[in-house]
């Protein structure tokens, strides 16, 4: 028998997420991908700014809005300070395509409140995701506002030092949210074993950050596909060794807390 050729993993277009600072812009990605993508927002302007941005991505047929709420200020990152690195200088100070004609002022991120989230919820009928939740109380409050998904994230540990890991808070957030919204998680995901822990503790989906960037840097689109192939193989191997035929068979009983070595 000939060797079966492995088919490339192709991300499901309708489940992609496009960041506000990404290039090319959201509208161009939408038109090229033929899919409906989530648009991720750092609120960097006043109410009029946000209204204009929401209208822009709504016209581009966004599948929903993902609002990041845990970045009131820029994190102090010692490695960047030691290297005298400033991303704003490295990017040449160019305006991201998504913000053409709108501008960006970081001070508004610190002023984004629960009341502002309520206003955004009333402003649009698009599904709303809140990213950066790490406590049960905040998750419960976000669901009370009317979000469709709570996104547990600590910015990959690049924000607040000594903060909790996302996997530590996952189950309490899931318990707080119940069936009123979906719970998704990122940060600290490096292997298929990390992915399997999340649905076991109640997450609906796991998102990856660094891994896709590493794959993209190493091999472009094929590099990202290879990352997904590796993760899939690791997930299947983990489930097989745990005797789980489906993700539903991974339960909280599958996970035990241990003291880090």
Alpha-carbon gap, residue 33 to 13, rounded angstroms: 7
136 CB contacts (<8 Å, ≥6 apart)?
169, 172, 173, 175, 176
- 228-to-42, 62, 143, 195 alpha-carbon distances in Å: 27, 24, 31, 12
pLDDT value of residue 178: 95
Tokens of 224: 């990202």
What's the DSSP call for residue 48? Answer: H
155 catalytic residue (yes or no): yes
Yes or no: say if 59 and 26 are a contact pair by the CB < 8 Å rule: no
Please give the CATH architecture assigned to the domain spanning 13-73+91-208: Alpha-Beta Barrel (3.20)
Q: Of these residues, 108, 155, 162, 191, which one is catalytic?
A: 155
Strand order in the sheet with 149-152: 17-19, 38-42, 64-68, 128-133, 149-152, 182-185, 205-206
Q: Can you give the length of the chain in residues?
A: 261
Alpha-carbon gap, residue 22 to 28, rounded angstroms: 11
The per-residue b/e assignment along 219-255, b for 16 or more CB within 10 angstroms, e otherwise, is eeeeebbebbeebeebbeebbeeeebeeeeebeeebb
- 139-to-129, 142, 252 alpha-carbon distances in Å: 11, 5, 20
Alpha-carbon gap, residue 19 to 111, rounded angstroms: 20
Instruction: For the chain, 261 residues long, give each residue's pLDDT as a single digit of tens.
Output: 343 343 443 444 445 788 888 888 999 988 888 877 999 999 988 999 999 999 999 999 999 999 999 876 676 777 777 777 665 555 556 788 888 888 887 777 777 899 999 999 999 999 999 999 999 999 999 999 999 999 999 887 777 777 788 999 999 999 999 999 999 999 989 999 999 999 999 999 999 988 999 999 999 999 999 999 999 999 999 999 999 999 999 999 999 888 777
**Domain range summary for the chain, segments of one domain joined by +:** 13-73+91-208
């Amino acid at each position: 028998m000939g060797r079966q050729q492995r088919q490339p993993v192709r991300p499901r277009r309708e489940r992609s997420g496009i960041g506000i600072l990404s290039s090319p812009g959201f509208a161009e990605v939408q038109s090229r991908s033929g899919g409906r993508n989530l648009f991720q927002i750092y609120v960097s302007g006043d109410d009029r700014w946000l209204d204009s941005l929401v209208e822009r991505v709504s016209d581009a047929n966004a599948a929903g809005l993902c609002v990041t709420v845990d970045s009131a200020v820029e994190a102090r990152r010692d490695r960047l300070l030691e290297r005298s690195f400033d991303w704003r200088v490295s990017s040449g100070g160019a305006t991201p395509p998504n913000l053409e004609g709108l501008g960006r002022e970081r001070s508004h991120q610190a002023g984004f409140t629960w009341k502002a989230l309520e206003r955004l919820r009333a402003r649009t009928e698009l599904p709303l995701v809140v990213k950066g939740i790490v406590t049960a109380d905040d998750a419960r409050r976000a669901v009370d506002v009317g979000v469709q998904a709570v996104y547990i994230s600590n910015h990959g540990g690049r924000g607040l030092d000594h903060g909790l890991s996302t996997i530590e808070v996952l189950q309490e957030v899931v318990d707080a949210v119940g069936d009123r919204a979906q719970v998704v998680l990122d940060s600290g995901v490096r292997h298929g074993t990390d992915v399997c822990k999340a649905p076991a503790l109640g997450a609906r989906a796991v998102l990856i950050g660094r891994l896709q960037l590493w794959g993209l840097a190493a091999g472009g689109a094929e590099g990202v596909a290879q990352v997904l192939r590796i993760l899939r193989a690791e997930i299947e191997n983990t489930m097989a060794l745990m005797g789980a035929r489906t993700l539903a068979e991974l339960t909280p009983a599958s996970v035990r807390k241990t003291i880090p070595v």
